[in-house]
Structure 1
Amino acid sequence: MEAGIEPEDIGQNQEYAGRLEYHGDKKKDCTLKITDLRERDSATYTFRFITDQTRGRYYGDPGVTLTVTGLQVKVTGGHQDKTLTCSTTCTLTDNPTYIWYKNGHKVKEDTSSLDSDSFSDTDSYSCAVKGHEDLHSPAVYGPRNTSVSVSPSGEIVEGSSVTLTCSSDANPPVQSYTWWYKKNGGEHQSMTGPQHVFNQIQSSDTGEYYCVSQNEMGTDRSRTMNMDVKCE
């Protein structure tokens, strides 16, 4: 164990609630069964026993490392000719049949790859292996619920520090954020990054702002925010 680091008691962790079964005899056997296994259960596990002696706390070092893998949809190709591939590091039987789902509904039985030139930014896609339909991959989908927030909130006064943040729900994660803005009726201009910081905002920064998020599946635009900077 790493010096000074107390391992977590998984029996007290709600993530494991109802999923732990102790099969040991508390003498020579410390067998533990974890049911309904999840990828986030991947960790190094050790047993611990405590005696009534001073400093009588011992760990089964180095423990057992558990790696949990599952199906994953990988996205390749361009915006108009994407390919979705259902992959796993698990060993499967020869030539398994894959089942593809769109928005949770079965759409096709196919090989591990799904080709289409009509994927929608607003739809989600997942896969499973035939015979194990209850074990879906996490869904992949284009950005959604893209929004702009301002910190601090409230009235914006010239000379203050203001941060604009663009956020979005997406899987795979957002690759890029692009801001578009038009100050005082001028032309639209762009800048990149999930945040834009005005260290000393000016009245000339008054204008319309929105952001566009993008991942391998598509793009999504936030609503336009009208920012009004007050003179001191």
Structure 2
Amino acid sequence: MWVSVVLGQDGWSVTYTPQSICALRGSTVDLACSYTYPSGRVTTTLWFTKWETGVEPEYLGQDPEYASHVEYRGDKEKDCTLRITDLRERDSATYRFRLLTDQERGTYTGKLGVTLSVTGLQVKVTGGLRYKTLTCSTTCTLTDNPTYIWYKNGQRLDESTSPQYKDPVSSNYIDGYSCAVKGQEDLHSPAVCVRGQDCSRVTYTKRTICVLKGSTVDISCTYVGFNRVKSSLWFSPKQRASWTNMSTPEDLTRDPGYAGRVEYARRERGMYEGHTTLRITDLREEDSAEYRFTFKTENIEWGHSFPGTTLSVTDLQVMVTPAAAGQRTLTCSTTCTLTDNPNPTYIWYKNGQIVTEKTSPYSVLHNAVDSYCCVVKGHEDLSSPAVCEYSTTAQNST
């Protein structure tokens, strides 16, 4: 329910809007918050979920469980919004905000907080032998009155504000159904068979992947065809404009933009099911796209509209910010959190020589002639451009 809760006394207040949120696993949520204080200057702001009596609470950003997917988007004046990305069920908790000022007794906590519940989507099948009722089920009521989208054998069917599919469906054992929330189609439910477990379906190993430019990525899924699979391919909707027929996906291996960089690995588990992997090498930033798998049997073609895996390709950049007098802080930056290494160790080079390995930003003394670059440990061949620490790009000597 979208309700603001204001807790305050003597000029102190913290306002949470709303008081409770239900969000999908894998999504991003903003815990909107504002605050006031009577006087002085704000020195510290922090969000926390655990607080023992007599012990200062720990900021979420310092908790390894949260470090890679929380971001404080507020300021030290009035905004205290917290963003949490890639939500997990274990993120379900009550979140509270605390601020400290430079005044005596200048500490205040908004004690009621925001209660966050994280849920996945599941298709529930009910009804008799001939016809079934499908419901897109969650463990809490999603915030913002979502619109639900339905898929049958990977093909988009319909959308509705009701979590229940509009018509009863026939108990056809071939058909598999899945649901999603509009605007978050990549967070769809697993495909569910109307009767038993032997229907067609595709299940992607990962919904999103972030990797370094120049590296190699494997995108994989499992598939089941009720009858023998006759043909299959991987494709990207981003390439639709280059297809001969825009309604018929074309195999990535035939796309000139991927020439020599794409290969498939397929492992069958009998006649009707298997595991397939799309490998893309020498990744480029323009490879950032959604990738989908489709197959044909004698009875069906797995739909082209079923969401697949979204790939983000990032380079490394050295960000330079002022620090204490005579110092600069260097941060090795990416545009997304690396999937297989969310808290990487960075190797830093100064004038082409290794100087340190760190998981956190690197502080250096101001010297206009020095240049720095960084790499992710394990990917030493994929360096950032070299940067002079007064933030002018230098020649890379590594």
TM-score (norm 1): 0.49
TM-score (norm 2): 0.32
- Where relative contact order (Cα < 8 A, 6+ residues apart) is larger, the structure is 1
